[in-house]
Amino acid sequence: MLESGCRRAQLSVAVGQADKLAAKVARDIEADVVRRGWPVGESLGSEQALQQRFRVSRSVLREAVRLVEHHQVARMRRGPGGGLLVCEPDAGPATRAVVIYLEYLGTTPGDLLNARRVLEPLAASLAAECIDEAGIARLRAVLRAEERWRPGLPAPRDEFHVALAERSKNPVLQLFVDVLIRLTARYARTARTDSASEAVEAVEHMHGDHCEIVAAVTAGDVARAKTLSDRHVERVTAWLQQHHPGGAGPGARAGRPRAPRVDPEAPRGKLAEGLAATIGDDIAASGWHVGSVFGTEAALLERYGVSRAVLREAVRLLEHHSIARMRRGPGGGLIVTTPQPQASIDTIALYLQYRKPSREDLRCIRDAIEIDNVARVVQRRTDPEVAAFLNTRSGIDHQAAGDAGRAAVEEFRFHVGLAHLAGNALLDLFLRIIVELFRRHWSSNTGRPPPTWDDVVAVDHAHLRILQAVAAGDDSLARYRLRRHLDAAASRWL
Ligand SMILES: [Zn+2]
Ligand SMILES: [Zn+2]
């Protein structure tokens, strides 16, 4: 009895180690693809060759390949002339991972409004700067599709905002706006309208705003595009808040079982992918009770009508994103866990590496988020948490003099600290993604001179001056100083 318990424990440790090893091999394969410039269609080698190269068993390699396939970095083709082929990813898995994580956090409509008001006017103004004939045609096509809507038809998906963000030619901004629109759509689905005429009015109102924004973008009127976009986002959110029962976050909506959206004709990997997304949604819909059993394996097989192999693969993906894990034995089943942001950040950062954003793409979003953060921290300056942050900052640690590594950590701590204090889970996560992208870019860009002691002192001084403005409640000065600091530090850290 005791012995079999021991063996089971040893076995589960071994399984844990194999999973960790597989995750590491997957990361190495992905880093290799990034290093090679993401050569779509090229082979990374046969299963056997990869097994030899990474010195792992076939089962570990297969698990690593599953992860790489999940991230849409490469796909294994069996048979002669086969191998692990680099593929062209789409934003699907990255976006889903982030949406599910944010559902767990239970973002508020206020956070969503705030995030949309930071990013969408930026997208509109960038679109106005670089619009071309193809872009104008695309935006006008979206407007025509909106005009075809009639009462009784399902409400049009708010595709307009995603199409507009696409025209900004900034892949990071495009992805973030997509996430925000998906979250907004989740609210809209549960919104109640008192009458059909009210729904019509809402849709027409929306359409009128969209037409004006497109006109400003087409005319290249950057300032007007920005202002109109800001006003529109404000109106949409006001409408949602008015019509949303209780105004609770999407994570807090009532649980209701839904028909699984699994297409039985799809190949197994795709099936597992879809099933994992459905289970993730259902866990969020049922209120995300960490530690509870979401269902036994038998119950889940029955509920979703899939094979055991597909379910097990979906469970691996849920485990990878720490959404749920399978516990064997009596009282076991799929246990709801606490999601960690890192898996979402990694998935999204990897996808964005494929899209190759420029430094400027990252910088303009970071600046918009950080300047909004500092304004929010000024508003919250009497909050004990904020006050504590303001007080602990008392100049550089001279013990760390000359230690550029520690200075970089301090720089990170300051900016991530501000994001945390600003209190918007969405913008906080977006900023972490940007930091991760900078980090990946920086670490692959050797040859940059390390910061000098003068740089360290200048950065610390800038931080102190920002905090002084925050403590004084001087909103515009805090923004000014942060902006100056970001301009000066941009070429160095973050
Ligand atoms: Zn709209
Ligand atoms: Zn700084």
Domain harbouring 308, CATH code: 1.10.10.10
Residue 64, pLDDT score: 92
Rounded to the nearest 5°, which phi and psi values hold at 435? -60, -45
Q: Would 34 be classed as within a structural domain?
A: yes
Residue 254, pLDDT score: 36
Q: Would 115 be classed as within a structural domain?
A: yes
Mean pLDDT (whole number) for 256-268: 47
Nearest listed ligand to the Cα of residue 185: 1
Q: Would 425 be classed as within a structural domain?
A: yes
| pLDDT above 70: residue 425 | yes
Q: Which of 186, 208, 243 is the last residue of a domain?
A: 243
Q: Which of 4-8, 56-60, 71-75, 88-92 has the lowest mean pLDDT?
A: 4-8
Highest mean pLDDT among 215-219, 316-320, 387-391: 215-219
Mean pLDDT (whole number) for 195-206: 68
H/E element holding 86?
A: strand 83-86
Count of the separate structural domains present in the chain = 4
DSSP 280-330: HHHHHHTT--TTSEEE-HHHHHHHHT--HHHHHHHHHHHHHTTSEEEE-ST
Each residue's pLDDT tens digit, 54-68: 999 999 999 899 888
Q: Looking at the structure, tell me whether residues 53 and 116 fall in a common domain.
A: no
Q: Looking at the structure, tell me whether residues 79 and 44 fall in a common domain.
A: yes
Nearest in space to 310 (alpha carbons), one of 269, 263, 265: 269
Residue 244's pLDDT band (cuts 50, 70, 90): low
Q: Would 259 be classed as within a structural domain?
A: no
Q: Which of 77-91, 92-106, 160-174, 207-221 has the lowest mean pLDDT?
A: 92-106
Residue 156 in 3-state DSSP? coil
Q: Could you list the residue range(s) of the whole structural domain that residue 150 is in? A: 107-243
DSSP lists the bridge partners of residue 454 as none
Residue 375 near residue 478 (C-beta atoms within 8 A):
yes
- Per the model's pLDDT, the better-predicted residue between 30 and 198 turns out to be 30
Each residue's pLDDT tens digit, 448-490: 666 677 777 888 889 999 999 999 999 999 999 999 999 886 5
In angstroms, the Cα distances linking 245 to 116, 241, 254, 303 are 21, 8, 11, 29
Domain harbouring 146, CATH code: 1.20.120.530
Cβ atoms within 10 A of the Cβ of 458, count? 16
Residue 221, pLDDT score: 97
What distance in Å separates the CA atoms of residue 292 and residue 318, rounded to the nearest whole number?
15
Between the CA of 350 and the centroid of ligand 1 the distance, in Å, is 29
Between the CA of 207 and the centroid of ligand 1 the distance, in Å, is 7
User: What does the buried/exposed string (b/e) look like for 327-341 if buried means 16 or more CB atoms within 10 Å of the residue's CB?
Assistant: eeeeeebbebbebeb
| pLDDT above 70: residue 402 | no
Q: Looking at the structure, tell me whether residues 322 and 403 fall in a common domain.
A: no
Between the CA of 148 and the centroid of ligand 2 the distance, in Å, is 50
The pTM for the full model equals: 0.80
Between the CA of 138 and the centroid of ligand 1 the distance, in Å, is 16
| pLDDT above 60: residue 12 | no
Q: Which of 312, 342, 372 is the last residue of a domain?
A: 342
Q: Looking at the structure, tell me whether residues 482 and 365 fall in a common domain.
A: yes
Tokens of 156: 């049009």
Residue 141, pLDDT score: 94
Q: Would 40 be classed as within a structural domain?
A: yes
Between the CA of 206 and the centroid of ligand 1 the distance, in Å, is 5
Nearest listed ligand to the Cα of residue 158: 1
Tokens of 180: 């925000």
User: What does the buried/exposed string (b/e) look like for 31-60 if buried means 16 or more CB atoms within 10 Å of the residue's CB?
Assistant: eebeeeebeeeeebebbeebbeebebeeeb
Residue 35's pLDDT band (cuts 50, 70, 90): confident
| pLDDT above 90: residue 105 | no
Q: Looking at the structure, tell me whether residues 481 and 395 fall in a common domain.
A: yes
Q: Looking at the structure, tell me whether residues 443 and 414 fall in a common domain.
A: yes
Q: Helix count (H) and strand count (E) of the chain?
A: 20, 5
Between the CA of 395 and the centroid of ligand 2 the distance, in Å, is 13
What distance in Å separates the CA atoms of residue 174 and residue 127, rounded to the nearest whole number?
11
Any idea which residue has 């910088």 for tokens?
Answer: 363
Q: Which of 243, 260, 291 is the last residue of a domain?
A: 243
Residue 366 near residue 122 (C-beta atoms within 8 A):
no
Q: Looking at the structure, tell me whether residues 24 and 111 fall in a common domain.
A: no
Between the CA of 50 and the centroid of ligand 1 the distance, in Å, is 48
Residue 376, pLDDT score: 94
Q: Looking at the structure, tell me whether residues 159 and 215 fall in a common domain.
A: yes
Q: Looking at the structure, tell me whether residues 320 and 435 fall in a common domain.
A: no
What distance in Å separates the CA atoms of residue 287 and residue 237, rounded to the nearest whole number?
23
Q: Would 254 be classed as within a structural domain?
A: no
What is the pLDDT of the chain when averaged over all its residues? 82
Q: Looking at the structure, tell me whether residues 61 and 128 fall in a common domain.
A: no
Q: Looking at the structure, tell me whether residues 116 and 64 fall in a common domain.
A: no
Q: Looking at the structure, tell me whether residues 371 and 483 fall in a common domain.
A: yes
Q: Which of 23-32, 84-93, 213-222, 254-263 has the lowest mean pLDDT?
A: 254-263
Residue 113 near residue 237 (C-beta atoms within 8 A):
yes
Residue 193's pLDDT band (cuts 50, 70, 90): low
Residue 369, pLDDT score: 96
Q: Would 440 be classed as within a structural domain?
A: yes
Q: Would 348 be classed as within a structural domain?
A: no
In angstroms, the Cα distances linking 494 to 277, 347, 348, 422, 432 are 32, 20, 18, 19, 10
Nearest listed ligand to the Cα of residue 393: 2
Residue 256, pLDDT score: 35
Between the CA of 487 and the centroid of ligand 2 the distance, in Å, is 10
DSSP lists the bridge partners of residue 326 as 334
